[in-house]
Amino acid sequence: MEIGKYIVEKALKLGADDVVCNIKDDLEKQVKFVNNQVAVFTTWNTTNASVFLSYKKRLVGSSLDTPENMETMTPLHGLSLKKENVDKFLEKLIKTAKILEPKKDYFGIADGRFKYKKIPDSYDKKIEKGGKEIDFVQDAIDAAIKEGAKRTAGVLYTDVWKNKIFSSNGIEAEDKGTSINLSIRSFAEEKDASGHTVSVARTLKKFEPEKAGKESGMHAKQSLNPSDGYSGKYTAILHPMVIANILYYMSYAFSAFEVDSGMSFLIGKQNKKIANNIVNLKDDGRLANGFGSRSFDDEGRPTQATDLIKNGVFKNFLHNTSTAKKFKTKPTGNAGLIYPQPWNIVLEKGDRTVDEMVSEVKDGVYITNVWYTRFANYRTGDFSTIPRDAMFEIKNGRITRPIKGLRITDNMQRILENIIAISKNPQQIEWWEITSPIITGHVLVKDLNLTKSAK
Amino acid sequence: MILIDRDLAEFAVNLATKNGASYAEARLVKTGEEGYILKNGTPETVVFSEGEGLGIRVLAKGGMSFLALNKLSKDEIKTAIMKTIKMAKVSAKTLKEPIELSEEKTVKASWEVKPKINLSDISAKEKMDYLFEIEKSLKSIKNKLVSRVFQLETSEEEKYYVNSEGTRIDSKIPRVMMYYSLVAIDGNDSEMRYFPIGESGGWEVIERWNLIKKINEESKVLLKIIKEGKRVPKEVQDIVLSPELVGIAMHESVGHPGEADRPLGREAAQAGETYATRDWMGRRIGSDFVNVVDDPLVKNSYGFYEYDDEGVKAQRRVLIQNGILNGYLHNRETAKIFGIKSNAAARASGFDREPLIRMSTTFFLPSNQTFAELIEEIKKGIFIKSYTEWNIDDKRWNEKYVGSEAYRIENGELKELVRRPVLELTTQKFFSSVDGVGNKVEFISGSCGKGDPMSAIPVWMGGPHIRLRKINIGSA
């Protein structure tokens, strides 16, 4: 018998009401490069099982998707998934569940035999075969250097995974996928001149290492000798790396968990205007070539596309079965059994080119990357984030000089309200700062508040 | 816990060296972790994790390769190691210089942090009850606290480290971590508090923390900030920072930039580089009052260790001495490049992460002034006791801390609450402005992020109260 099925049946025998078991096989490789050379080649070859079970509304589990601070918890790996180890572990889980207080607002897991449709562009045999990882890195480095970069650093990942799910409601399903993603940061001669871009794909034909290398090298070269920028409110063009960062940190607020915990700035705003009319944002778990696309969520429900913001109006939170029942709405296929989560957040493309955006700005800035986004208050969405890499001043429709030393200090909703244009060429962004993919073009934002440090 | 597959680490290292690795090391790590969340009075899923895995690092032909696997059979290990040696050799072809490690003493050692109260002797119910106790204590102000999230994590980690030079180290460490976040609301106005606290040790640390008192006090202060906190215009004044603020600043603007892999560019595409480039060593960054160290041997510290994950004996590192940048945190790779010995800063957050240069407990050394003495000479100023938002650029030069609980100082006395004062300044401005240092060090905890994939590692950070003169500060 499949070990996952065994786990579910054994847990039921021990008295559990609901059981879900996910088993994931993963072969991940990474080339980390520094100063145009390979610093380390890493391989992760792992099998992980996670179990969730309820006993009279008392919930226990192992290795579940949890809030940020628990992400580091290790799963049930290394137990070799031997029957005697599994038995012992399940007995411990049930024994613990029996003495806990119930979670009164727990309302069960997905029920039903679902049909799962194949997601286009989600698996590529060539990525599984491998062997060209270092060549791709070299292509990206060469492209960056050709544009004027002197040195580059970054990572290339490939991943081949297979996920099986079994649940006490009869779900037995299997999904597999591949991905390849490159993050490259280029530096020109001066210490403050750098550019950073990514290429993120599920198949090789959508993977563009040279394009990423070229843009990062170009930004590095263009940002040579930056001078101090000025604080104030500006019309800003935000590169996809920037708006993706903001949308990524905003995405917590769409999870039903954060509504329950009182932390979301979207509480009480359903069907209310929170963004400019041109803003359409969705989560799409079935997006072709989407880095986060998967056939089913962590309780086996098929993934779907869910509107988050439609024509500027906030529409839906993201749910698992239990939170949806609590909120008297439909599940959205976003389990996390504890923490409903997005799969691919997509900002609908607009109608402009980046050049057109630049030409519209009288007095503004173009920011190409940020990091270290932190909130003063999650409930209000007040935050700041720091530009890194190339940043430019724009005057009267032209980029005039590279600048440095500024910080975006603003509010999540205010930025949504102030988006006045979106470009027509979206990119998929995922990297060290943004671990859940965002698909977005450049955006034009008015009245962006920029602050700077006292020297 | 018993490390059942201890010989597998030996097997891996022997196999690697017999098959072309000039150096090999293996870490067999077994962990048991538990996680509890109480969210607005409702318990979330209790999470138990048990795991064991092997992390193997090899050098071959000057290239480096790292392998992590949890399929712990000799066949699996053999197949994976042969591939990983091959990849080290392929990587080497891109290198101008081979990767080498500093020469270090071989060691045979064993160390552990012994808990007074074993974490496994406290039931899951007792652990969750502790969170309920905090929740119940807030009963009188619960309706004003729209978010009350208490999260407890415990972990026990056993490790066996072996390298091809003959070093063998056993270690064992239990840890306890609590996070809490609170949002107080009054009408349409709100304020947030988030605080992590962690230690190495057993359940006894919970009593020491006295969190019920702290959380109750801070909750009341949050409400008071909303009602009474006055926004103040930005102007030049003197400030006093609490150990909490000093701690985060030492971590961000001294510890991180002091990691020797940063000036070498090894973290350039992730956590970034550093203002403290090699030519900056020996340069003045602050006033004579500034002395900052990183010390893995601070008792009970959350980032405590006796030997690092390259088998080097832990030691205190002086990062800033009397205002002068004094040195970096090193692993064996950077030490070799710098022509020195490692100072034992290599840490891996799990079997599946390569050891990187990491902090342990980074803190500003105390001097001799009391808190009262620090504020008594201030005519006009602000005391920041706790913070909310913070960030810093990737060279660790432009930093920002937004005060949560903060008070106006007038003629040497603390006055009313001030709302969200923003300290936004350069690292040099910060340290050059220090002219008074308190006499008592306190620590805060954190999960420090670095590496790709992210490798969160337990650390402490801290210092005494310190005074900074003539800082441009005002409300957000």
Chains A, B: CB pairs < 8 Å: 297
B312-333 confidence digits (pLDDT tens): 999 999 999 999 999 999 999 9
- Asked if B398 and A52 come within 8 Å (Cβ–Cβ), the reply is no
Residues of A in contact with B180 (CB under 8 A): none
Domain ranges for chain A, please list them.
3-216, 226-452
**Which pair of structure tokens corresponds to residue A168?**
């006490």
User: Closest partner residue to B424 among A102, A373, A454, by Cβ?
Assistant: A454
B230-279 confidence digits (pLDDT tens): 999 999 999 999 999 999 999 999 999 999 999 999 999 999 999 999 99
Categorize the per-residue pLDDT at B447 as very low, low, confident or very high, splitting at 50, 70 and 90: very high
Q: Could you please report the per-residue DSSP string of A181-223?
A: EEEEEEE-SSTT-EEEEEEEESSGGG--HHHHHHHHHHHHHHT
Residues of A in contact with B51 (CB under 8 A): 74-79
pLDDT of residue A76: 43
Residue by residue, pLDDT tens for chain A (455 residues) are 788 899 999 999 999 999 999 988 899 999 999 999 999 999 998 888 899 999 999 999 986 433 333 333 334 444 455 677 788 889 989 999 999 999 999 999 999 889 999 999 999 999 999 999 999 999 999 999 999 999 999 999 999 999 999 999 999 999 999 999 999 999 997 778 999 999 999 999 999 999 999 999 999 999 999 999 999 999 999 999 999 999 999 999 999 999 999 999 999 999 999 999 999 999 999 999 999 999 999 999 999 999 999 999 999 999 999 999 999 999 999 999 999 999 999 999 999 999 999 999 999 999 999 999 999 999 999 999 999 999 999 999 999 999 999 999 999 999 999 999 999 999 999 999 999 999 999 999 999 999 998 88
Tell me which residue of B209, B153, B201 sits closest to B299, measured CA to CA. Answer: B201
List alpha helices for B181-331, DSSP H: 204-209, 211-228, 243-250
Query: With a cut of 0.85, is the ipTM above it?
Result: yes
Pick the CATH number of A3-216 from 3.40.50.2000, 3.40.710.10, 3.40.190.10, 3.30.2290.10: 3.30.2290.10
Rounded to whole angstroms, the Cα distance separating A190 from A221 reads 9
Q: Residue B49 above 90 pLDDT?
A: no
User: Closest partner residue to A43 among B67, B94, B391, by Cβ?
Assistant: B67
Rounded to whole angstroms, the Cα distance separating A222 from A391 reads 9
Nearest chain A residue to B474 by CA: give it: A454
Looking at the complex, report in whole angstroms how far the Cα of residue A46 sits from the nearest Cα belonging to chain B.
5
Nearby residues of B377 by Cβ (< 8 Å), 6 or more positions away: B412, B436
Assign B473 to helix, strand or coil: strand
Cβ(B66)–Cβ(B21) under 8 Å?
Answer: no
Handedness of CA A77, A82, A83, A85 (dihedral sign): negative
Residues of A in contact with B158 (CB under 8 A): none
Rounded to whole angstroms, the Cα distance separating A236 from A443 reads 8
Average pLDDT over residues B46-61: 92
**Which pair of structure tokens corresponds to residue A365?**
């800035």
Share of chain B above pLDDT 90, in %: 95
**Which pair of structure tokens corresponds to residue A418?**
């102030």
Q: Could you please report the per-residue DSSP string of B322-382?
A: TTEE---B--HHHHHHHTS---S-EE-SSTTS--EE--SEEEEPP-SB-HHHHHHT-SEEE
CA dihedral B452, B453, B454, B458 (to 10 degrees): -100
Task: Determine how many CB atoms are found less than 10 A away from the CB of residue A174.
Answer: 13
Q: Residue B217 burial (CB < 10 Å; 0-12/13-18/19+)?
A: exposed
Nearest chain A residue to B150 by CA: give it: A261
* Rg, chain B, Cα only: 24
Average pLDDT over residues B437-452: 97
User: Closest partner residue to A383 among B354, B389, B472, by Cβ?
Assistant: B389
Residues B70-91, buried b or exposed e (16+ Cβ, 10 A)? bbbeeeebeebbebbbbbbbbb
Rounded to whole angstroms, the Cα distance separating A47 from A319 reads 27
**Which helix (DSSP H) or strand (DSSP E) does residue A157 occupy?**
strand A151-167
Nearby residues of A398 by Cβ (< 8 Å), 6 or more positions away: A358
Beta-bridge mates of residue A377: A382
Rounded to whole angstroms, the Cα distance separating A119 from A123 reads 9
pLDDT of residue A74: 36
Tell me which residue of B287, B270, B316 sits closest to B430, measured CA to CA. Answer: B287
Nearby residues of A181 by Cβ (< 8 Å), 6 or more positions away: A156, A157, A198, A199, A200, A201, A291, A430, A431
Distance in angstroms between the alpha carbons of the first and the last residue of chain A: 67
Q: Could you please report the per-residue DSSP string of B392-415?
A: E-TTS-EEEEEESSEEEEETTEEE
B271-285 confidence digits (pLDDT tens): 999 999 999 999 999
pLDDT of residue A89: 84
Strand ranges (DSSP E) for A15-150? 18-34, 37-55, 58-62
Asked if B2 is an interface residue toward chain A (Cβ–Cβ < 8 A), one would say: no
Tell me which residue of B47, B64, B65, B56 sits closest to B8, measured CA to CA. Answer: B56
List alpha helices for A377-429, DSSP H: 412-417
Rounded to whole angstroms, the Cα distance separating B205 from B222 reads 26
Residues of B in contact with A38 (CB under 8 A): 63, 91, 94-95
Q: Which domains does chain B have, with CATH numbers?
A: 6-228 (3.30.2290.10), 235-475 (no CATH)
Nearby residues of A289 by Cβ (< 8 Å), 6 or more positions away: A120, A121, A122, A201, A202, A203, A206, A428
Assign B290 to helix, strand or coil: coil
> Locate tokens 């099925």: which residue?
A5
Looking at the complex, report in whole angstroms how far the Cα of residue B83 sits from the nearest Cα belonging to chain A.
9
Would you tell me the crossing angle of helices A209-222 and A133-147 to the nearest 10 degrees? Answer: 30
pLDDT of residue A112: 80
Q: Which residue type sits at A96?
A: T
The edge-to-edge listing of strands for the beta sheet with A434-440 is A313-314, A305-310, A281-284, A345-347, A434-440, A427-431
Nearby residues of A441 by Cβ (< 8 Å), 6 or more positions away: A240, A347, A349, A350, A422, A423, A424, A425, A426, A427
A69 backbone dihedrals φ, ψ, rounded to 5°: -75, -10
> Locate tokens 């975006």: which residue?
A408
List alpha helices for B150-262, DSSP H: 204-209, 211-228, 243-250
Rounded to whole angstroms, the Cα distance separating B411 from B401 reads 24
- Asked if A155 and B192 come within 8 Å (Cβ–Cβ), the reply is no
Q: Residue B290 above 50 pLDDT?
A: yes
pLDDT of residue A65: 33
| β-pair type (A398-404, A391-395) | antiparallel
Q: Residue A35 burial (CB < 10 Å; 0-12/13-18/19+)?
A: middle
B180-189 confidence digits (pLDDT tens): 999 999 999 9
Asked if B274 is an interface residue toward chain A (Cβ–Cβ < 8 A), one would say: no
